[in-house]
Amino acid sequence: MKSKIHERITLKLNLMRKKIIRNTSLLLLAAFASQGNAQTTVSICNGGNAAVTAVNSLNLSSPTYSMNPGGLTSTNATFAVAPAAATSYTLYVTGTNSNSAVVTTSNTVLVYVNGTSYSLSSPQAYTLGCGSKSFCVVSINGANTSPVAGGAVSYTLLIPGGSGIMPTGTLSSLSVYTVNATGVYTVAVRDNVNFCTTQTPFTITQNTAAPNISATVPQQILDCNVPSVQLQGNSSTPNVSYLWSFISTPNYIAANTITINTNSAAPTTTLIDNYTLTVTDLNNACTSTTIIPMYQNTFPPIAAIASNMSPTSCQHTVVLTNQSMTGIPSNSPFPTNLVVAGYLWIPPSPSQSTLALSSTYTAQTSGIYTMTVMDMNNGCTATSTINVNIGPAAAFAHTLTGGQAIFNDMSSNTSNNTTFYWNFGDGNTSTLQNPTHNYLFGGAYFVKLKITKPTGISGIFCTDSVIQSLNVSGVACSANSNFSMVPTGTAQVWNVIPNYPWNISSASWNWGDGSSSNTLYTSHQYSAAGMYNICLSVTVSCGDTSTSCTSYSVYRTTQEAMILEVNVTAPELISGLTSVETNGQLNWSIVPNPNTGEFKLNLNTTEAVRIVISDLAGRIVHTQFIESNSSPTVLAGNLLPGMYLVTLESGNLKTTKRMVIYH
């Protein structure tokens, strides 16, 4: 019993083992079926496509097909793929086998992608510009075969509209192309082994816009006030370059600014230069230009000095006057309405100071004076010079010890050929420059120095004189009242001349006809001819007195002739002063002398003359012009009592007489 049960159990176990083995065989068989055929490979060119097919190796019924990657499912066993790189595709077949089991099998297809890899570059960013950038260069860089690197490649460029026309076979070896028109171009690189070609389109555009440009010009006309200016180029366009070009050296400056200076070598040239500003857009090489003409107004003024000095002038001062005028031509575009001003006067020596901004200058020393003037129209300057000949100015100093006087010449504007003439006021003279003189008698004396200097013109001399008073003490005091009476060139007129009048402080005349005068220099008229005893009583400044009398016969030519007249005159203070009178060139006299400030001048000249009255210190106290051949009355009653010098000037002649005024 026990063995039958064991047999049954054993039989069932064996049946189960057989079923398990059979099912296992089916599973293994299915597993083998799922592996399908061996793996296959397909090669395509980059950008191409391939067909991959699922293999139904077990002849499954009602199969469906799928692919991975891609996730596609279809009843069609073939799929179209276009991978960009090598890709392994797994193809699945799912269906029912003969045992009614659902089974899936698969096979693998490796798709290789052949082609080339490279990059494109363009220095101008694929843009056509101007000038040197009107051509665009495109370069194919780093071309290589793929997936196996190192193969031979060739190149071509397809023009716009021709990208579909691809040459066959091996292409060109050129990898750099130049284009000069806009459009869409295509670069093609081919693997020379499998002839797979990679194409890359690119677009050429155009940018020929000129840069925006302007220029800053602070002042277009330069002058001596503004001799330099800076021009500046401006542009709102980014990434530009600047260039200034012009005719003069160095012809160009590569900068946005330029400094313009006046052309000092050609001050009368109006145009400095034409300055051309060129602005270049560095992105497209397009340019904009503008021309700026620069002008200058640097015409120097015409400097000229006028003076009141004649070639024979002996003035102590000469007035110099600015007579300059603008040098700007009247037909120029520049203004000329402003003055040419005296800017600076420079004297010949430090004895006079410079003077600025003046139209006149008073010259007081001989030499060359320089005047600088400025044209207020343009600020330009010019200089002019004048050689001034100032007449000598007499001056001296003295020291007095007892009766001995030492004189020192201090005259100005003298020369080596200046002559000196001294009158010591006591009838004695000297021609030394620095004399010493001994006075015999005490009292007050008037000492006069006269200097004479050649003008440089033959026969023409300049003279000047000065008088000083000195009081001699410590020597004998003696009065001299002697006098003489001489006829004049005028009928019925005589001159009475004291012999030694220099130190007389008071005097009185007794005319012998019952009348008298209480002054030394006076006049007297006799009503009848006859013998008259004329007496002069004097007191000298040191205190001594003296009286001298002399009888003179005063007569008329006829009874009808004018009343007889006697004038007291002084000996000439300096004998050389009236030398012209002896030549008959300038004869004149003061009537009466002394006077109260009202007197007449007797003249015998055919020219108008100028009378100048000065005191003993050299100060001019009265001037007057008088006509020729006349006997004018001079009114100088406002002058204080004392001794004065009366000088007559006519042409180049100049003579001086002494006159006493009393009240």
Pick the more confident residue, 543 or 557: 543
The Cα 93–Cα 533 span in angstroms is: 189
Q: Are 341 and 304 in contact (CB under 8 A)?
A: no
The Cα 645–Cα 611 span in angstroms is: 10
- In Å, how far are 248, 300, 328 from 227, measured between CA atoms? 17, 13, 16
Pick the more confident residue, 30 or 592: 592
Residue 84 CA, chain-centre distance (Å), reads 77
Burial 579-591 (b: 16+ CB within 10 A, else e): ebbeeeebbbbbb
The mean pLDDT of the chain is 85
Per-residue model confidence as pLDDT tens digits over 108-165? 999 999 999 999 999 999 999 999 999 999 999 999 998 889 999 999 999 998 756 8
The Cα 587–Cα 565 span in angstroms is: 19
Per-residue model confidence as pLDDT tens digits over 570-594? 775 433 333 333 344 466 778 777 7
CA dihedral 507, 513, 515, 516 (to 10 degrees): 0
Q: How do strand 240-245 and strand 271-281 relate by DSSP bridges? A: antiparallel
Amino acid at 285: A
- DSSP, collapsed to helix, strand or coil, labels residue 405 as strand
Residues contacting 633, CB < 8 A, separation 6+:
598, 599, 600
State yes or no: pLDDT of 559 exceeds 80.
no
Does the pTM surpass 0.85? The reply is no
- What is the arrangement of strands in the sheet containing 516-517, beginning at the earlier edge strand? 516-517, 504-510, 530-540, 545-554
- DSSP, collapsed to helix, strand or coil, labels residue 276 as strand
Per-residue model confidence as pLDDT tens digits over 192-217? 999 999 999 999 999 999 999 999 99
Largest CA distance in the chain: 235
The one-character DSSP state at 595 is B
pLDDT at site 580: 33
State yes or no: pLDDT of 36 exceeds 70.
no
Extract the tokens encoding 296: 């200058």
The Cα 192–Cα 176 span in angstroms is: 18
CA dihedral 301, 302, 303, 307 (to 10 degrees): -140
pLDDT-wise least confident of 170-184, 285-299, 496-510, 547-561: 547-561
Rounded to the nearest 5°, which phi and psi values hold at 444?
-90, 135
State yes or no: pLDDT of 235 exceeds 90.
yes
The one-character DSSP state at 70 is T
Per-residue model confidence as pLDDT tens digits over 263-286? 999 999 999 999 999 999 999 999
24: confidence class by pLDDT, cuts 50, 70, 90: very low
Residues contacting 372, CB < 8 A, separation 6+:
303, 343, 344, 345, 346, 381, 382, 383
pLDDT at site 626: 75
The Cα 181–Cα 464 span in angstroms is: 101
- DSSP, collapsed to helix, strand or coil, labels residue 95 as strand
Per DSSP, the residues of 26-54 read HHHHHHHHHH-S--EEEEEETT--EEEE-
